[in-house]
């Protein structure tokens, strides 16, 4: 590949053919940011591993991988990332959407994955020092505030049960405890205990905050996830 500061490649085959040596040549840092591990698939990983040959520094490059929760849709995906971590990758999960799926190599080269068009994804290879430094700063800022894989899985959301959703509706509607307990068919003592459990699970210090927090997490009171503090 020539020395142009910015080059756009079409499809992973062209990426590997023309830029595979960059992956294999990483010596100090291999920094990945992706919504889905499949964005940087087998070809990229093979090219990178090809560089892990005898004669390299014993510890090799630092391998940092930053994913969004989209990379963990099921148990199979969790095991896949766990295997990556077991082989030396430092993996973190970023709650916020990533502006761009990116690989940064040795602070010298950035590769941005575009949105697939008619089945072909474009990859922009950037070697402008200022641009690479700026992209790396953005990725590192997200990295610094993201939990590692194990911590993210420990915080894995629990499902919000039907009873908890009904209680949240009572809180949102402004019912008194007495009225809500009667409508839900439970004793006042039980209702208040359920409210306290729900507030604890949501990390809320007030009933108003509990309702707001639930709406924030779920986009409305539905069947979505909550922090896994207390089973609900």
**Does position 87 have pLDDT exceeding 80, yes or no?**
yes
What value does the mean pLDDT of the chain take?
79
CB contact set of 33 (below 8 Å; sequence gap of 6+): 66, 67, 94, 98, 100, 101, 102, 103, 139, 142
**Does position 210 have pLDDT exceeding 90, yes or no?**
no
How do residues 128-151 score in pLDDT, each as one tens digit? 999 999 999 999 999 999 999 988
Percent of residues, the chain, with pLDDT higher than 90: 28
Q: Structure pTM?
A: 0.63
Confidence of residue 20 (pLDDT cuts 50, 70, 90): confident
Q: Give the model's pLDDT for residue 156.
A: 62
Confidence of residue 168 (pLDDT cuts 50, 70, 90): confident
Q: Give the model's pLDDT for residue 202.
A: 67
Task: Specify the range with the lowest mean pLDDT, choosing from 38-42, 81-85, 134-138.
Answer: 38-42
Apex CA 85: angle with CA 202 and CA 38, to 5°?
A: 85
Q: Give the model's pLDDT for residue 230.
A: 37
Element (H, E) at 202: helix 188-202
How do residues 43-78 score in pLDDT, each as one tens digit? 666 666 655 544 344 456 788 999 988 888 777 888
- Give the DSSP letter string of 14-80: HHHHHHHHHHHT--SEEEEEESSGGGS-HHHHHHHHHT--TTS-TT--EEEEEE-GGG-SSHHHHHH
**Does position 22 have pLDDT exceeding 60, yes or no?**
yes
Identify which of 128, 91, 113 has the alpha carbon closest to the alpha carbon of residue 8.
113
Q: Give the model's pLDDT for residue 222.
A: 41
DSSP summary character for residue 117? B
């Amino acid at each position: 590949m020539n020395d142009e500061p910015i080059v756009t490649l079409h499809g992973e085959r062209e990426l590997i053919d023309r830029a595979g040596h960059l992956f294999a040549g990483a010596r100090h840092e291999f920094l990945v940011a992706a919504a889905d591990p499949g964005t940087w698939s087998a070809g990229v990983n093979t090219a990178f591993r090809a560089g892990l040959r005898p004669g390299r520094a014993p510890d090799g490059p630092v391998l940092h991988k930053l994913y969004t929760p989209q990379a963990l849709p099921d148990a199979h995906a969790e095991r896949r990332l766990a295997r990556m971590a077991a082989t030396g990758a430092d993996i973190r999960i970023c709650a916020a959407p990533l502006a761009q799926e990116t690989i940064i190599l040795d602070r010298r080269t950035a590769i941005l994955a575009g949105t697939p068009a008619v089945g072909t994804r474009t990859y922009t290879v950037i070697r402008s020092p200022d641009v690479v430094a700026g992209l790396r700063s953005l990725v590192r800022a997200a990295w610094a505030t993201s939990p590692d894989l194990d911590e993210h899985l420990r915080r894995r959301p629990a499902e919000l049960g039907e009873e908890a959703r009904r209680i949240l509706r009572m809180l949102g509607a402004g019912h008194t405890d007495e009225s809500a307990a009667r409508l839900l068919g439970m004793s006042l003592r039980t209702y208040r205990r359920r409210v306290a459990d729900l507030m604890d699970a949501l990390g809320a210090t007030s009933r108003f905050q509990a309702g707001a927090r639930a709406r924030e997490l779920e986009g409305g009171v539905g069947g979505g996830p909550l922090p896994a503090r207390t089973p609900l």
